[in-house]
Chain A
């Protein structure tokens, strides 16, 4: 499905730019405005979601955090969103001609993903409600002890190449780069899921946020 582009949350953008909590000066504000306008023109936000049985995804090597998240769930909703390859191309071009603008677009694009995920999740929730079902929150490969390698099976089960032009590299990156996948559990009774905390995270020792005494949820 085609998604509307949402303006990114500026506080999140500044956090991604290593300036959390800063009130930007005039020059930076106009830099971010320009970056947002460029990205809005270049991005082609797309989303996809599917309702699948639990066995559609082999979760045997997917770690304990995802298993805990899906506890009590009877089925899956898989989803993926992307800003499209035009956003990647824009960032590549700007990195050559204006690195400040390039970094701004990069951060805005990352921050804009949240809104896109919310939209797709809302569509899935509306469907679940109409079926008298409940959904857990979103859980993405890379959270907690869930390995990025799960991206391959997830994208195959969703047929993301055909559905929104999204593929996984051999190093388990999503391409186009500004893309997100997520897993939600479905049940006929209320479920919430459990997001993994830092204690379980694979990146615990190396996380850039933890180095600064923060978490990626701040």
Chain B
């Protein structure tokens, strides 16, 4: 067996069976680490490998599944020693049979952020150490298996590709619902792994042959025709005591179903033994793997959502600072919260992909784009369109993106193509190509088509499939160049017909400089959809744009039985833009003297927003804050303190105030006035702590009182707090820790702040703290709840 034969798919390739379950059966004691078998029971380990090779396994997985520094800590063995010994052991068994030895890499045993605390780059580094040890020990190939988190799989694949030239096989474990524990779909796994350039993809563990079968078929449909797909199922489903009931014959019989699916490599996982592999080998002997028939589709994904770009697909355009003062301000302050809230709102309005742009003069675009991608993918499951033409920014964002994104964009210039296409290829991204080059934007459809042709030649050469290329024939402002709209639509048709690519347009640019832009945008969008537009970059919060999209889907048969259309509009009556505003304001018929204050006191979010909108027609923004919002919050806060109101009511009032504040801040940003700020405060949940809710409650309350809060999030390194305190000059830093185990981080953070000589005060809070404990670790103030922190802030800022 050679590596080349494995990937030739001329015959079935056989993997080995369960190793851990065999070690247990042959004497590994509970409490003993299976990773150490090469030292504890080398003869037994070698015998198991040998029996698998003798049974006909072409590839033996070395006993390195959990061989990482963290799991081996305290055993007296390093990962490198363990990997070397384990691979040598498998090698001794493999050689007489001509079998290959794989470095087997399993999950690290810690969850990556945002669910856990392990950073993506730390995960990459841990995997890199394993890969380097495996290469040094002479592994023939690398197997990444039993993964349940797509992000961890990506870290392992990057580490394998960046630290070796060995072939990489990658497999994940799915539950019976067709998702991993973290919700990753079969399709998201297939397209992401294939995009990252692994040599084969598969499914292992967790389920038996019958349960995995439908998922294996789905996997075959989404990966390229030439890519081998493998399965390594368990011997059925386990009993509570960890044993398995399915015998070798039954296993081989159930595996027979795979002969015609297109998979080309088979083996077994937990509960299977050399007998199972022998039975498998005889059942598959002489058979030739069936041809896989992949469905070539344009796909983008996050772990939990795979978007097939079939028919018009909406890309939300709101996370782009150009012309958006509030977002500009937020990005300058390093605050991702506003962008994240925009993401959630666009998703609710019907966006299927989100454009993310961090291009703003005076900020570090690369760092900001990376930060936005990290924070956005923690709160939205929509795929992202990474919008930049800076290769450094794109690479940093592509690296940490979890899934398959789209890069926006390259253009016809050599420089752009050469710098960005290799990145798209390495990280498996789709790409937008703009029909312009060093000579500018061609006037005619033919001219733009020529640029598109040049771009497609380059994507072909880079190995990016046509279904992953989206050509932007460019929307020009119709008030300046009236003929160009027709040229854009014509060029789109040519690209789709003759190049077999997808198309994309930023729609809103058409109406620049004209009144009632919505009319123009909607009409142009409709024409473009009719001309075959695939990705429409629009503001999904504009009702008439989404209405045009939904109506188009009905009229072209994409929305079967009008189901989505009816669902979206069953309860609505058509309103013109002007009357909609009046109607929103009318919902505030509370009859109260100050409807805004009343809505906040009663914790009514919608009503508070509407009341603020109406009040802004006659009152100054600052007056709203000082005369309505803050007095209402004070009333609620007093009630809470006295025990007549409870936390849920305080929080609902805070949420209502936040909704009103949002309207007020937008009005202030639009008017160009200085923002409402009673002073700056830095907040963080300390290093190692991921319990964030207390700090988030404090943030909302402080923001409602008009403080400018820089929220550093959770699991925050002490030095980042120091840096933020320095940069903002904030006179107050608030730290939160929930557990006794993270209070030391809080103390370290306070010490670092003092060491840096910063004059700021530090307030602390969290379940395990007390006033004396707070004093002991050097804090200035212990805040027992959000109300107390607001009171302290007020007192402090008034004394400055």
Interface residues of A (CB under 8 A from B): 2, 14, 17-19, 22, 24-25, 27-28, 31-32, 44, 46, 49-53, 55-58, 84-86, 88-89, 91-93, 95-104, 106, 123, 127, 148, 157, 161-162, 164-165, 167-173, 175-177, 202-203, 205-208, 211
Contact = CB atoms under 8 A, between A and B. Distances in A.
8 smallest A-B Cβ distances: which pairs? A165-B181, A19-B646, A100-B651, A56-B30, A171-B688, A175-B116, A18-B647, A206-B768
A100 B603 contact: yes
B242 interface: yes
A29 to B, nearest CB: 10
B693 interface: yes
A92 to B, nearest CB: 6
A103 B648 contact: yes
Contacts of B345: 97
B691 A177 contact: yes
B31 interface: yes
Contact of A97 (B182, B242, B344, B688): B344
23 contacts: A14-B646, A17-B648, A28-B646, A49-B240, A50-B240, A50-B241, A89-B378, A91-B693, A96-B340, A99-B654, A99-B658, A103-B648, A123-B240, A161-B148, A162-B205, A167-B116, A170-B110, A171-B689, A173-B691, A175-B110, A203-B740, A205-B770, A206-B768
B115 A58 contact: no
Interface string B233-264: 00000001110000000000000000000000
A92 B378 contact: yes
Contacts of A97: 341, 344-345
Interface residues of B, number: 67
Contacts of B742: 171
Nearest to B380: A93
B735 to A, nearest CB: 15
Interface centre among B241, B693, B697 (most CB of A within 10 A): B693
Given A28-B649, A55-B30, A167 B340 contact: no
Interface string B157-188: 00000000000000001011000111100000
B117 A171 contact: yes
Contacts, number: 180
Contacts of A93: 344, 379-380
Given A56-B31, A157-B30, A127 B648 contact: no
A35 to B, nearest CB: 10
B655 A51 contact: no
Interface string B657-698: 010000000000000000000000000000011111100110
B146 A168 contact: no
Interface in B110-138: 110-111, 114-118
Contacts of B183: 44, 84-86
Contact of A84 (B176, B181, B688, B770): B181
Given A55-B30, A157-B30, A176-B111, 6 more contacts: A28-B652, A55-B31, A96-B340, A96-B344, A165-B149, A170-B117
B643 to A, nearest CB: 10
Given A92-B114, A173-B739, A101 B109 contact: no
Contacts of B697: 99, 103
A141 to B, nearest CB: 12
Contacts of B769: 206
In this complex, the member of A53, A95, A99 whose beta carbon has the largest number of chain B beta carbons within 10 angstroms is: A99
Interface of B: 29-31, 107, 109-111, 114-118, 146, 148-149, 173, 175-176, 180-183, 205-206, 240-242, 337, 340-341, 344-345, 378-381, 602-605, 646-649, 651-652, 654-655, 658, 688-693, 696-697, 700, 739-742, 767-770, 773
Contacts of A211: 770
Contact of A103 (B116, B380, B651): B651
Nearest to B71: A156
A215 B341 CA distance: 38
A157 B175 CA distance: 21
B27 to A, nearest CB: 14
A100 B182 CA distance: 26
B115 A99 contact: no
A88 B648 contact: no
A144 B116 CA distance: 26
Contacts of A162: 107, 146, 173, 205-206
A88 B345 CA distance: 19
B185 to A, nearest CB: 13
B648 A44 contact: no
Contacts of A24: 646, 648
Nearest to B242: A50
A105 B182 CA distance: 19
A47 B416 CA distance: 51
Nearest to B117: A169
A102 B699 CA distance: 14
Contacts of B149: 165
B205 A100 contact: no
A1 B680 CA distance: 49
A181 to B, nearest CB: 15
A104 B648 contact: yes
| Residue of B111, B206, B241, B739 with most partner-chain A CB within 10 A | B111
A177 B652 CA distance: 24
B411 to A, nearest CB: 35
Contacts of A168: 110
B770 A95 contact: no
Contacts of A56: 30-31
Most buried by B among A24, A50, A164, A171: A171
Given A85-B183, A171-B688, A100 B654 contact: yes
Given A100-B648, A102-B693, A88 B115 contact: yes
Could you say which of A32, A89, A148, A207 has the most chain B C-beta atoms within 10 Å of its C-beta? A89
Contacts of A55: 29-31
Contact of A18 (B381, B646, B700): B646
Contact of B646 (A22, A32, A101, A205): A22
